[in-house]
Each structure stands twice: as C-alpha cells, then as structure tokens.
Structure 1
Amino acid sequence: MRKSWTKRLSQLAACAGLLMLPVVANADEQDPWVGYNQFMFNINETVDAYTLKPLAQGYQAVTPQPVEDGISNVFRNIGDVRNLANNLLQGKLHDAGVDTSRLIVNTTFGALGLFDVATRMGLQRNDEDFGQTLGAWGLGSGPYVVLPLLGPSTVRDAFGRVPDSMLAATAHIDHVPTRNVVIGVDAVNLRASLFKAERMVSGDKYTFIRNAYLQNREFKVRDGQVEDDF
C-alpha cells in the first residue's frame, strides 16, 4: 500500500514539474538578466530603507491628508500633459480630448490642479506614457530590467522614460534649487503613495514585483484587452 501511494505521489510530482516548465521557461525569457536584476533590486531596497521610506513616513506623519491629496493632485495635473501627448501619438483622439478637458478644468477651477474637479465632473484620468506608445506601435517590451533607483522596467519602458521626462515640469524649471525641491517632493510623495500597495506583496518580493509589473504593463499597452488563455 505504501509503495502504491509513493508511486502515485512521484507521478503527481512529475506531472507538476512538467506543468511548471512553461512557467519557468517564460520567466527565463522575460528575465534573462536575473542576476544583475536581483543585485540592483537589493541595492534599491537598501537605499529605500535608509532614505526614501523614512522620509515618506515622516512626510505622512506631519502632512495633513487634505494637503497630501492636494500635492498629489498637482503632480497628476502636470502628468496629464504626458497623457495628452501619448494619447495623440497613439491616435486616441477621444482620450486626448478628455486629457485636454482635465487640464483646462483642473488648472482653472481646480487652483492649478490642487483640486481634482475634473474627476468629480466625470472626466476620468488616463494613464499613458511613451513606453505604452511604443508598445501600441508594435515594439516588443524586451527583457525585464531593474533600473538604479527607478526600479522595475523593461528595455522598451526604459527608453520611453526619455521623451516623457521632457514633458515633466522639472524639465522646464531653470532655477536649480526650485527644481531640486520639486523633484524631491515628487519623489517623497510618490513613495508615500506606495505604502498601501506595499502591503499586498506576498512571497518572494523580487518575483512578486517583477510579475506584477510585467502583467500591469501588458494590461496597459493592450488597454485592458488581455488575451484569454483558455
């Protein structure tokens, strides 16, 4: 009887191993630079633990929620310029119209974006960038790569950051101290906004973040039209 159960367990283990082969192969294909990526991921985690995370925690502790929301709204309003440009490049004229309306409404009636009046009016915010634009044009994502300080990316998305950065507010601020303050506030505010998402991480953190990033980017490039595997 024991031999029979042992044999069955061995067969089940073998079947499970065969079923996992495509998953492992897919992971190797998407993350061929895993050695470097894990090394850079650990460096980023260490830098974050001793700098950005404590700053973000202090920022949340001393900043009233309405003020924090207002700061986030201002940076989102500036980000709508990027959304508008990339929606035009992708030929999404309706979404580009929404982006334009949001910019006008929030900049005027929302006190330069401090209040998100447009969302209350039913003008939902888009989330587009040049990495998605390249994907919409048919360019593959390329291998997964962890960027120093910037975190998870792909080769395509890494190159996409360059034109997007030209549309950022900081690219047009000539006064260096002011530009540095804006960059710092944006970085700390963004890190603070990630605390809720951070609680969802389970299992191996590197693998979880990599898979979540790649799935999310695929979802965005396809505008939510994910192919059914069944």
Structure 2
Amino acid sequence: MAKRSFLLALLLASSLAHAERTADPDGFTEPLKELKFNPGLDQREFERSSLDALNVYDPLESWNLRVYQFNYRFDEWVFLPVVHGYRYITPGFLRSGVSNFFSNLGDVPNLLNSLLQLKGQRSMETTGRLLLNTTLGVAGLWDPATMMGLPKQSEDFGQTLGFYGVPAGPYLMLPILGPSNLRDTGGLVADFSVESQINFLNVAEVSGGHPEISALRAVDKRYTTNFRYGQTNSPFEYDKIRYVYTEARKLQIAE
C-alpha cells in the first residue's frame, strides 16, 4: 500500500512538472512576464483618451476655449470676490429675500415656456407659485409656495425650441454667462425680451434707470450657482463642462 502511494505521488509530481513546462494556448509558458505596461500613460493621457468618446459639435472650439479662459479669470478675480463681499456684508435673511425676489421674476418665462410646451401640470404649478409668492410672499421676498408643495420649475425658450425639434447647433461658451449653444443662446435672448416686455412688478422698467438692480441680480445669480471653475481638478475641464452641459440640456428637454 505504501509503495502504491509512493508511485502515485511520483506520477502526480511528474504531471505537474510537465504542466508547468507546457505552453498556454496563446503560446506563452509564463504569460505574466509577457504583459506590457506603459509607465508613460499618465492621468492626463487616460483622461484625454476617455474624453475622445465625449465629442460634442464644437466648430468654434478655439474661440470657445479663449472665452472659457476669460470666464475662469473673471470668475476668480472679479465675480467671486464680489460674491464673497456680498455674503460678508449682507445678512442671510436679506440674501434669501433677494434670491426669492429674482426667482419669482424668473417664474414668468417659466410659465410661458411651460404653456408653449403644453405641460399642463407644470403650468398650473408655476401659476400657483406666482400667485402665492407675489401675494403672500410680498412680491416674492418669501417663498411660501415651496413650503406648500409647489416646487420651483425651470423652463426656458431654448428648451421650448428643443421640444419642437430645433437642433442645438454648435456649442458656445458665452462671456461671463458660461456654456450654451446656438439654440439656447437664441432662447436666452427671447426670454430676456419677453420678461422686459411683460415688465412684471415694473422691475424691467425701473432697472432701465437703475443698473444696480441688474448688477444685484447678476451677483445673486452667481451667489446661488454652486459651480466653481477648476473644481474638477482636471486639465480637460472645458471638455467635461461641454459634455455635461450638452447632456443635461437633452435631459431637460426630454422631461
């Protein structure tokens, strides 16, 4: 019995040794030694190769990149310092009142675009918001509508054009305003014109003689926008912003 066990052990050892010398189907006896690693493939190269799949129609890329760089510096050197100063000297309740007031004004184009897109429920909710916030909220300084279950909706004429099949067109980086495209830029102009013509609460007319109101609205808009240039910590931030903006607009139009 002991002799048989010894013979079996010898046969097993022999077969294992033979298996170690037998080449794998791919022809390598030691495949791991044949693996090739590229130590030069750093994070930037990896991101660039990944972003190749995120192409967006951007025939004006060289110009857009210059505008992006301008926006980056303007935000860093002008806009954000002003916002920080605004936060420092203005009490929180007053900042909330300013934000609510301008948000209430923005519900006017929201309502019109909801109607144009035949979104009945959103139209009714936005109408309710305007009525409640303009009356109970004292011209929009407070936002009782949200507390009563009527959340803020976001509709613009760029979305309306997209809803009816107007293509986005080339990507655009607008000075100070940030990412856009040809369709959405036209929509932005249309919304501004409509809001000026309606002159809700007489704000558009008064702002004509008091540019500080428009300046305050711009500061409030930046104050309520969380995005910060450079926050992606990537040399390809422009590409990422372009892609995220484009895909986000598609989702908004599809809602």
The TM-score range, normalised by the shorter chain, is 0.7 to 0.9
- Cα contact 2:54–2:243 (8 A) shared by 1: no
* DSSP-derived class of the 2:227 partner: helix
Indicate the larger mover: 120-129 or 159-168.
Answer: 159-168
Please state how far the C-alpha of 1:148 moved relative to its aligned partner.
1.9
Identity of aligned residues (%): 35
- Aligned amino acid, residue 113 of structure 2: N
2:240 maps to a residue whose letter is F
Matches within 5 A, 1:102-141: 102-141=129-168
- Which of 32, 53, 74 aligns to 2:101? It is 74
Paired position in structure 2 for 1:24? 52
Structure 1 SS opposite 2:179: strand
Question: More deviation in 130-139 or 203-212?
Answer: 203-212
Q: 2:125 maps to which residue?
A: 98
Q: In the aligned structure 2, how far is the partner of 1:23 from the partner of 1:42?
A: 19
Aligned residue among 242, 245, 251 for 1:210: 242
**Counterpart residue number, 1:219:** 251
CA distance in 2, matches of 1:109, 1:190: 24
CA contact (8 A) 1:78 1:169 kept: no
Distance 1:173 1:219 in 2: 35
Q: TM-score, normalised by structure 2?
A: 0.75
1:110–1:117 contact (8 Å) kept in structure 2: yes
Structure 1 position 216, deviation (Å) = 1.6
Shift of 1:212: 2.3
Q: Residues 22, 51 of structure 1: CA spacing in aligned structure 2 closer, same or farther, 3 A cutoff?
A: closer
Q: Which runs of 5 or more residues in structure 1 are unaligned?
A: 224-230
Structure 1, residues 57-78: CA drift from partner, whole Å, max 9, x if none?
1001111111111111111101
1:66 and 1:202 mapped to 2: Cα distance?
A: 33
Give ranges in structure 2 of 5+ residues lacking alignment: 1-29
Amino acid at match of 1:186: R
* RMSD of aligned alpha carbons: 2.5
Distance 1:26 1:134 in 2: 24
Decide whether the 8 Å contact of 1:201 with 1:209 is kept in 2: no
Which aligned pairs between 1:142-161 and structure 2 lie closer than 5 A? Answer: 142-161=169-188
Matched, 1:85 2:112: yes
Larger radius of gyration: 2
| Deviation at residue 169 of structure 1 after TM alignment | 5.4
Matched residue type, 1:167 = V
Matched residues in 2 for 1:23 and 1:46: separation? 24
1:85 maps to amino acid: L
Tell me, in whole angstroms, the C-alpha distance in 1 between the residues paired with 2:147 and 2:233: 34
Q: What TM-score do the two structures reach when normalised by structure 1?
A: 0.82
Tell me how many residue pairs correspond in the alignment.
211
| Distance verdict in 2 for CA 1:45–1:21, change over 3 Å | closer
- Per-residue deviation, 1:108: 0.3
For 1:227, the equivalent position in structure 2 comes to none
Cα 1:156–1:126, aligned 2, differ >3 Å: closer, same or farther? Answer: same
